Amino acid sequence: MADKRSRGQIPKDSAESATASLWSASSLQLDDLLEELRARAGSARESQVRMASLLDAVVAVSSDLDLADVLHRIVVSACELVDATYGALGVLGPSGEELIEFVTHGLSDEERAAIGPLPRGHGLLGLIITSPQPQRVSDIGQHTKSYGFPANHPPMTSFLGAPVRIRDEVFGNLYLTDKRQAKEFSQDDEAILVALAAAAGVAIENARLYDRTRGQQLWSEVAGRATQGLLAGEAHDVVLSEVAHRVVELTEATSCFVALTRGTDLMVVASTHAGPEVGTSVGDLALRAAMLAQARSLHVDTAGTIGTRSTVPLVLGEAPLGLIVVDWEAEQRLSHLPELSAFAERLTVSLVAASAQTERARAELYEDRDRIARDMHDHVIQRLFATGMSLQSAARLSNENVRPRLERAVDDLDAAIKDIRHTIFALHRPPGARELASEITAVCRDASVTLGFPPELRLSGRTNDLPEQLEADVLAVLREGLSNVARHAGATTVEVAVEINSRVAVTVADDGHGLDPKRERSSGLDNLARRAESRGGTLLLETREPSGTLLVWSVPLRVDRES
């Protein structure tokens, strides 16, 4: 036995002890391996769940084309993916150096209002603006770029941010704070947010393309409506008033007004409620002409960060026709400038075409008036004069009973000749006369082009007693009333009456279809109602019997005798 031990055989007790030790070590390694496999499986399941959540988030932010809804969904999805308490998407302005819009999640409307003005991009928020890379911070207050929080702002600790790019352009930044189930955001959270930001850029670009296409359609509708109205003979102030209101709607502006050249001045012809009063001057044309000729497309005056004014000229060749002025409260609305400039070019062409059409119609009308005047002078008056001479000769040869009658007939012919001469003189009166009666006649005469027949006009009272601004209201009422008849009534006759006594009453009555209850009242009629109410008067619009429409605009007459 000793020889066997000496030849290397292991004792039985020692072998059993070694085997037990090896089995114990293998068991421990297997447990670790199983634990590691379980951890990896759990991590894989968690990754799978997060990947599914990311895909759901991508689908969610891509399922809408309204830009405001898309931005809100991006913020909500980001908070849900990385388990953040608060989230925000800051939109960069045209300069790319400051935030002009801040879409938040996790704060109530009351909390947002209590915080005050939204951030502009200072401190840690500005770090991602100047260096558009993902940023992950465990404690905001300890970071060297921390700018502090305003009063009433909720406390925040952990932070995660990433830029949102549209191709090579940085649209804005995603900001997330206060992870719920951990002290800080992880590297996986950062990777998830970067992936969502990439998908968000695509969704935002699609929404912006949709907004641009839809905006172009709306701008085209406004331009088409303005062109149709101007070429149909509607008054410029009525058409441009509707234009000003639609520009405010489409650009989300606070006010808009349109000014056209009047001699050497630029006069406001249409304005929204927050703009200057219609009829006021906005500057000498000579001072504005250089700016209009140089600008060609647009001119922008930016007053700090509290508001922006855009002056868009109406220019044809070298001739400035006027301008459109739009005011905003925030700089981000400048994105509407390209569409506004293109619209101004179309409106300029429409104004010129309408003016040319009016001039052609006026020229034809004056040619007809000249022809009528010549015919009346060369034929009617001469024949009446010859008839009178014959009657005078006959009177000398007649008896005493017939002679008085013939002499009265001659006197009547002389009176008729004088009336005809007055009529001929009125036909040759220049169109620039400032008498209200002649302007009323001119409005009715111009309306005959679109009506297809001349309106019947009746004037009563002293038109010279009206203040100039009230004269403008009377003419605006006539233009709008006759324009509505031409566009909607299908009438064969129109009666116009202007009565001036203690009140000024303008009546336009037609025999057309009558009021359509399904058709909304036009902005032009609303404008006339406001004109009447501002003077303590009324606007009546009702159906006539058996057919037709009656419009009565009536205001009290307050004449300043000292003026």
444 and 319 within one domain: no
Residue 332 · residue 307 · CB < 8 Å: no
Q: What is the CATH number of the domain that holds 108?
A: 3.30.450.40
Over the chain, what is the mean pLDDT? 76
Does residue 197 fall inside a structural domain? Answer: yes
* CA angle 276–279–285, rounded 5-degree value: 90
CA 9 remoteness from chain centre: 102
Identify any residues that bridge with 137 across adjacent strands, giving them in sequence order: 159
Classify 161 as helix, strand or coil: strand
Of 166-180, 261-275, 338-352, 446-460, minimum mean pLDDT range: 261-275
Does residue 422 fall inside a structural domain? Answer: no
Question: Where among 211, 243, 271 does a domain terminate?
Answer: 211
Helix ranges (DSSP H) in 485-557: 523-534
Count of beta carbons in the 10 Å neighbourhood of residue 265: 16
Does residue 328 fall inside a structural domain? Answer: yes
Count of beta carbons in the 10 Å neighbourhood of residue 300: 14
223 and 130 within one domain: no
279 and 160 within one domain: no
Statement: residue 426 has pLDDT above 70: no
| Distance between start and end Cα atoms, the chain | 148
C-alpha span between 254 and 245 (Å, rounded): 10
Classify 222 as helix, strand or coil: helix
Of 225-229, 263-267, 423-427, minimum mean pLDDT range: 423-427
Region 482-495: mean pLDDT is: 85
Output the pLDDT for position 294.
Answer: 45
C-alpha span between 230 and 235 (Å, rounded): 7
Statement: residue 305 has pLDDT above 50: no
Statement: residue 250 has pLDDT above 60: yes
Q: 116 exposed, middle or buried (CB, 10 Å; 0-12, 13-18, 19+)?
A: exposed
206 and 69 within one domain: yes
Question: Where among 190, 211, 232 does a domain terminate?
Answer: 211
C-alpha span between 446 and 454 (Å, rounded): 9
- The DSSP H or E segment spanning 178 is strand 169-179
Region 535-544: mean pLDDT is: 90
Does residue 43 fall inside a structural domain? Answer: no
C-alpha span between 7 and 470 (Å, rounded): 134
As for how many domains the chain has, the answer is: 3
Q: 305 exposed, middle or buried (CB, 10 Å; 0-12, 13-18, 19+)?
A: middle
Q: Please identify which residue in the block is written with the tokens 């002056």.
A: 311
Q: Which of 59, 65, 109, 108 is nearest to 81 (CA)?
A: 59
Q: Please identify which residue in the block is written with the tokens 């309204």.
A: 66
Summarize pLDDT for 332-371 with one digit per residue, the tens. Answer: 455 677 888 888 888 988 888 888 887 777 777 777 777 7
* CA angle 95–121–190, rounded 5-degree value: 105
Question: Where among 324, 357, 390 does a domain terminate?
Answer: 357
Output the pLDDT for position 388.
Answer: 74
Residue 515 · residue 543 · CB < 8 Å: yes
338 and 266 within one domain: yes
Classify 239 as helix, strand or coil: helix
204 and 87 within one domain: yes
Strands (E), 455-511: 456-460, 494-500, 503-510
Token couple for 269: 């012809």
Summarize pLDDT for 226-242 with one digit per residue, the tens. Answer: 888 888 878 888 889 99
Statement: residue 549 has pLDDT above 80: yes
232 and 206 within one domain: no
Token couple for 271: 């304005």
Strands (E), 128-168: 135-137, 159-166
Q: Which of 485, 379, 381, 366 is nearest to 429 (CA)?
A: 366
Phi-psi sector, 168: left (phi>0), alpha (psi -120 to 50), beta: alpha
Region 434-443: mean pLDDT is: 78
What SS3 string covers 74-101? HHHHHHHHHCEEEEEEEEECCCCCCEEE
Output the pLDDT for position 32.
Answer: 60
Output the pLDDT for position 561.
Answer: 35
Q: Which of 273, 272, 267 is nearest to 323 (CA)?
A: 267
110 and 86 within one domain: yes
Statement: residue 386 has pLDDT above 60: yes
Identify any residues that bridge with 510 across adjacent strands, giving them in sequence order: 494
448 and 308 within one domain: no
Q: Please identify which residue in the block is written with the tokens 């209850």.
A: 517
238 and 268 within one domain: yes
Region 82-95: mean pLDDT is: 84
Give one DSSP letter per residue of 314-344, joined into a string: EEETTEEEEEEEEEESSGGGGGGHHHHHHHH
Does residue 1 fall inside a structural domain? Answer: no
pLDDT higher for 300 or 438? 438
Does residue 249 fall inside a structural domain? Answer: yes
Q: Is beta strand 494-500 parallel, antiparallel or unpaired with respect to 456-460?
A: parallel
Number of H helices, E strands in the chain: 14, 16
- In the chain, the amino acid numbered 387 is T
Render the burial of 193-232: b for 16+ CB within 10 Å, e for the rest: bebbbebbbebbebbbeebeeebeeebeebbeebbebbee
Residue 497 structural domain? 433-563
Region 27-44: mean pLDDT is: 55
Q: What is the CATH number of the domain that holds 443?
A: 3.30.565.10
* CA angle 138–142–147, rounded 5-degree value: 110
pLDDT band at 65 (very low <50, low <70, confident <90, very high): low
C-alpha span between 21 and 6 (Å, rounded): 25
Does residue 142 fall inside a structural domain? Answer: yes
What is the four-CA torsion angle of 83, 84, 89, 95, rounded to 10 degrees?
A: -120
Residue 273 · residue 258 · CB < 8 Å: no
Output the pLDDT for position 550.
Answer: 92
Distances (CA, A) of 310 to 325, 334, 376, 530: 6, 8, 55, 27
pTM of the model: 0.48
Q: Which of 522, 478, 472, 436 is nearest to 267 (CA)?
A: 472
Summarize pLDDT for 105-121 with one digit per residue, the tens. Answer: 888 888 888 887 777 76
99 and 183 within one domain: yes
Token couple for 292: 């209009």
167 and 292 within one domain: no
Does residue 167 fall inside a structural domain? Answer: yes
C-alpha span between 78 and 174 (Å, rounded): 8
C-alpha span between 103 and 71 (Å, rounded): 7
pLDDT higher for 47 or 273? 273
